[in-house]
Amino acid sequence: MVKRKRFIAVAGNIGTGKTELVDFLCRRYELKPFFEPNDTNPYLEDFYRDMAGFAFHSQIYFLTHKFRLHRALEREPGTVVQDRTIYEDAEIFARNLRRQKYINQRDWTTYSELYSIISSSLAPPDLMIYLHAPVARSASESRRAGAPWSRISRRSIYGASITSMTNGLPATTSRGGQDRHRQDGLPDRSHRPARSVSADRKVSLAD
């Protein structure tokens, strides 16, 4: 019996062990990994120096290159696993930059419309594994690793967005986690058939 292809996504704040989990899954199950293109983003240095001036540019870069990665993993014949999807990048990081006013309303409208068009053309993950850690721990881990992203991950907004990204099913962080009406202009993806599981539950790739 031939196993059907699966698309597995790993989500979570900085310092929760996403990359380590992806590496483990790939070694254990011989999966194809896909990682976010941090090292190739030409705006990152300017962004860390002037977040308000380059947040929009940086997020547009991530959006277009995550779209390209997503198309590439859709073409893979076997099961794939991705460290931080296009959905997490838009609905967590870009939205948090907007909330902190690093992206103005005009640019946010443009970004949201582009993300809506792109996301509607993509096949969502079959399984999303959400790794949760307290924000203080994530900030400590990112500082220790020298990751400037700690500057924008002080306030965790995963709890408010993970439900939308995983079709309303519970994830690791649901502390009172009722889904909230979207007020930010991003498309509501609650119709998407993705599933989420707690990080401490066993995940079977055989079925």
> 92-115 burial, b for 16+ CB within 10 Å, e for fewer?
bbbbbbbeeebbeeebbeebbeeb
User: Is 53 within the bounds of a domain?
Assistant: yes
User: Is 151 within the bounds of a domain?
Assistant: yes
Q: Cα–Cα distance between 47 and 56 in angstroms, integer?
A: 9
Strands of 32-34's sheet in order across = 32-34, 80-83, 7-12, 127-131, 196-197
The H or E element that residue 20 is part of is helix 18-29
Q: Cα–Cα distance between 31 and 81 in angstroms, integer?
A: 7
First-to-last alpha carbon distance for the chain, in angstroms, is 11
User: Is 202 within the bounds of a domain?
Assistant: no
| 47's tokens | 């962004």
Q: How many domains does the chain have?
A: 1
User: Is 1 within the bounds of a domain?
Assistant: no
Cα–Cα distances (Å) from 21 to 44, 54, 76, in that order, read 25, 31, 20
Confidence band of 110 (pLDDT split at 50, 70, 90):
very high
Q: Tell me which residue range forms the domain holding 158.
A: 7-197
Q: Cα–Cα distance between 106 and 101 in angstroms, integer?
A: 12
User: Is 35 within the bounds of a domain?
Assistant: yes
Q: What is the pLDDT of residue 114?
A: 96
- Per residue in 17-63, pLDDT (tens digit) is 788 889 999 999 989 999 877 788 999 999 989 999 999 999 999 99
Q: What is the pLDDT of residue 192?
A: 43
Q: Does residue 157 have a pLDDT over 80?
A: no
User: Is 161 within the bounds of a domain?
Assistant: yes
Q: Is residue 118 a contact partner of residue 57, using CB atoms and an 8 Å limit?
A: no
User: Is 75 within the bounds of a domain?
Assistant: yes
Report percent pLDDT > 90 for the chain: 37
Q: Does residue 129 have a pLDDT over 60?
A: yes
pTM > 0.75 = no
Cα–Cα distances (Å) from 62 to 3, 24, 36, 115, 159, in that order, read 32, 25, 8, 11, 22
User: Is 206 within the bounds of a domain?
Assistant: no
Report percent pLDDT > 70 for the chain: 62
Query: Is pLDDT larger for residue 58 or for residue 144?
Result: 58
Q: Does residue 67 have a pLDDT over 90?
A: yes
Q: What is the pLDDT of residue 184?
A: 46
Q: Does residue 127 have a pLDDT over 50?
A: yes
Domain containing residue 73: CATH number: 3.40.50.300
Q: Cα–Cα distance between 170 and 164 in angstroms, integer?
A: 10
| Residues linked to residue 128 through DSSP beta bridges, in sequence order | 9, 196
- Per residue in 82-102, pLDDT (tens digit) is 998 999 889 888 998 999 999
